[in-house]
Homo-oligomer: A and B are copies of this chain.
Amino acid sequence: MPIRLVNVVVDAADGSALGLFWSELLGWPVAVDTPDDVDVRCPDVGELIFDLVFAPVTEAKVVNNLVHADLASNSAEHQRALGRRALDAGATPVDIGQGDVPWAVLQDPEGAEFCVLTPR
C-alpha cells in the first residue's frame, strides 16, 4: 500500500502571516491556527488530510531553494490570473537565473521560491 504524505512542514518566522498568504494563494482554508501550528488544508483529498504546515521558528533562516512548490494552471489565462493573485497576496517576482522560461518564478513573503506552471 502506498504511504501517504500527510504534511509538508515549512519553518516560518511568522507562521500566521505565511499561512494566510498560502491560504489566499491556493484557495485552501486555514484549518488550524495556533501559536505553534498553522495548517493550510488541501480541500481536494476527500476524507484524507494533506496540509501545508507553517511551524514558527526563532532561528535565523538561511534562504535557499532546496525544496520548492510548483502550482498547476489549467489555461494560459489561468496561469496569468494565478500569477496576478500571487502578487496581490504578497509574492514578488524573482530572478534565480531561470532565463526565458514559460513558467513564473516568484518568492513568498519569507523568500521561498515557487513556480506557477504552464497549463497541464
Q: Which residues of the partner chain B approach A67 to less than 8 Å between Cβ atoms?
A: 8-11, 66-67, 112
* Contact digits for A40-67, partner B, Cβ 8 Å, 1 yes 0 no: 0011100001000100000001101111
Please state if B64 and A6 are interface contacts (CB–CB under 8 Å): no
Number of residues from A at the complex interface, CB < 8 A: 35
The distance from the CB of A117 to the nearest CB of chain B, in whole angstroms, is: 7
* Contact digits for A87-120, partner B, Cβ 8 Å, 1 yes 0 no: 0000000000000000000000000100001001
Measured CA separation A60–B96 after assembly (Å): 16
Which A residues are within 8 Å of any B CB, using their own CB?
A: 1-11, 25-28, 42-44, 49, 53, 61-62, 64-72, 82, 112, 117, 120
